[in-house]
């Protein structure tokens, strides 16, 4: 049965009226939680100041508008060698024996290899960098990026980029200590409290590079061809 058939033949019970909804603790829906209750809760949850860990402890998400067409922004990000330009410290990528897997250096720390595989979806304009320090068997540092047509969300040409990271448990403990250089005294997870600030710097690099090339009618990937 396809989705259309399912919609035609589904139960007569209206969506949102399942009896178990009333039994699930903590749900806040208009049927049980009034407008006044919702307004009071939102006011209580809105603060002038938030602790850093409350905002960036589990997730680190940033966003930016870029005056460059979304297809060109996607083309640039989908090429992992663009990381040589807009990131602060990812350099020297070369292919490995594993198809699609590159290895380079992360200049955040001395003698640190950075492995990276790029996973893209052109229709959705998503670019995910699957990375790890020191080894390429477990790529657990995932950088999730999406390019959005700014005409949809801002009503003007250009792109909006969102970039998210999740605090994987491996940020707290190196899962492959045997692969780390013996003289390195820092782990990437030590830097998590500074991810937001560092990513903002890199996002501004990305914005400046793409806007400059778009404004001057230059190719976004000059290293190609």
pLDDT tens digits, one per residue of 109-161: 999 999 999 999 999 999 999 999 999 999 999 999 999 999 999 999 999 99
Q: What whole-number distance in Å separates Cα of residue 35 and Cα of residue 33?
A: 7
**Cβ–Cβ under 8 Å, residues 29 and 21:** yes
Which range (32-41, 129-138, 170-179) has the least confidence?
32-41
In this prediction, residue 27 carries a pLDDT of 86
Rama region for 74: left / alpha / beta (φ>0; ψ in -120 to 50; rest): alpha
Domain ranges of the chain: 52-215
- Residue 63's alpha-carbon distances to 88, 145, 182, 193, 204, in angstroms, are 17, 9, 37, 18, 10
Instruction: Say if residue 96 is exposed, middle or buried (CB neighbours under 10 Å; 0-12, 13-18, 19+).
Output: middle
The angle subtended at Cα 64 by Cα 60 and Cα 66, nearest 5°, is 150
Query: Structure pTM?
Result: 0.87
Question: What CATH class is the domain 52-215?
Answer: alpha beta
Backbone angles phi, psi at 123, to 5 degrees: -65, -40
What are all long-range contacts of 2-7, with beta carbons under 8 Å and residues at least 24 apart? Answer: none
């Amino acid at each position: 049965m396809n989705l259309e058939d399912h919609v035609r033949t589904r139960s007569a019970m209206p969506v949102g009226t399942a009896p178990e909804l009333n039994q699930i603790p903590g749900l806040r829906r208009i049927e049980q939680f009034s407008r006044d209750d919702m307004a009071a809760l939102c006011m209580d949850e809105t603060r002038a100041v938030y602790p850093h860990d409350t905002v960036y402890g589990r997730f680190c998400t940033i966003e930016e508008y870029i005056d460059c067409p979304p297809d060109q922004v996607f083309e640039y990000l989908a090429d992992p060698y663009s990381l040589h330009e807009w990131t602060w410290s990812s350099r020297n990528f070369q292919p490995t024996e594993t198809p699609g897997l590159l290895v380079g250096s992360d200049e955040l720390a001395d003698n640190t290899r950075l492995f990276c595989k790029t996973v893209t979806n052109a229709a959705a304009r998503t670019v995910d960098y699957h990375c790890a320090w020191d080894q390429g068997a477990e790529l657990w540092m995932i950088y999730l990026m999406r390019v959005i047509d700014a005409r949809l969300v801002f009503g003007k040409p250009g792109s909006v980029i969102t970039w998210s990271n999740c605090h994987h448990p491996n940020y707290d403990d190196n899962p492959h200590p045997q692969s780390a250089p013996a003289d390195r005294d820092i782990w990437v997870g030590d830097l998590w409290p500074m991810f937001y600030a560092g990513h903002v710097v890199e996002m501004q690099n990305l914005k400046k590079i793409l806007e400059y090339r778009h404004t001057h009618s230059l190719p976004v990937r000059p290293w190609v061809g």
